Amino acid sequence: MSILDYKGYKAEIDYSQEDKVIFGKILFIESSITFHAESASEIEHKFHAAVDSYLAHCKKHNIEPNKSYSGTFNIRTKPEIHKAAAQAAHIKGQTLNEFCSEAIAMAVSVNQPTTPFLRALIDNVQYGAVANNSFAPIGTVSQESNIAQFGIAGNAFNVLNPEELFAH
């Protein structure tokens, strides 16, 4: 599958071997808009035409076209994860929203934080050093001493120069 982008709209492109056709669907809008083409050179034109047609339809009927996401949504998680996130946010001097936004940004590689403490956390989780949700932050990075404090399975650790320790 491929993703195309036009005027802020994204479409997923796929091929049906059975029908011998390339088809696409505009993503992340409430309306269901699909399009198809018989050749790869034609599919991008069909996508642009579908977006333009959608916008013209909205304008003609005085309908507000679907826009980008607002940045607000609800999340459901286990109570113990909620508690751990709230505690970690407090330790970092952040609101829970700020903490969660940062965590999501790290997961999708958008504006990844570069503090040694967070880099150490990310690397530990990514490379399996932390298992079974046993990680619990217990401190922050001291800029003066460059020490990151964190706990794994109930034990506290100090990591000197975490950027060097977790450098890849």
Alpha-carbon span 147 to 117, nearest angstrom: 8
pLDDT of residue 118: 56
Q: Give 17's Cβ-side CA count (13 Å radius).
A: 0
Residue among 34, 19, 26 at smallest CA distance from 3? 26
Three-class DSSP category at 56:
helix
pLDDT of residue 79: 92
At 41, list the tokens. Answer: 């050179």
Q: Say if residues 13 and 24 touch (Cβ distance below 8 Å).
A: yes
Exposed (0-12), middle (13-18) or buried (19+): which is 111, by Cβ within 10 Å?
A: exposed
Residue 97 to residues 28, 80, 108, 114, Cα–Cα distance (Å): 23, 17, 16, 19
Mean pLDDT for back-to-back runs of 10 residues, the chain (168 residues): 88 92 91 92 95 94 80 85 91 90 78 54 47 43 43 43 44
Instruction: Name the residue ranges covered by the structural domains of the chain.
Output: 2-60, 79-165
pLDDT of residue 121: 55
pLDDT of residue 135: 45
Alpha-carbon span 152 to 130, nearest angstrom: 7
pLDDT of residue 104: 85
Q: Where are the beta strands (DSSP E) in 42-152?
A: 135-137, 147-152
Q: What is the helix (H) or strand (E) element at residue 33, kind and residue range?
A: none
At 97, list the tokens. Answer: 């929203």
Q: Give 162's Cβ-side CA count (13 Å radius).
A: 24
pLDDT of residue 167: 44
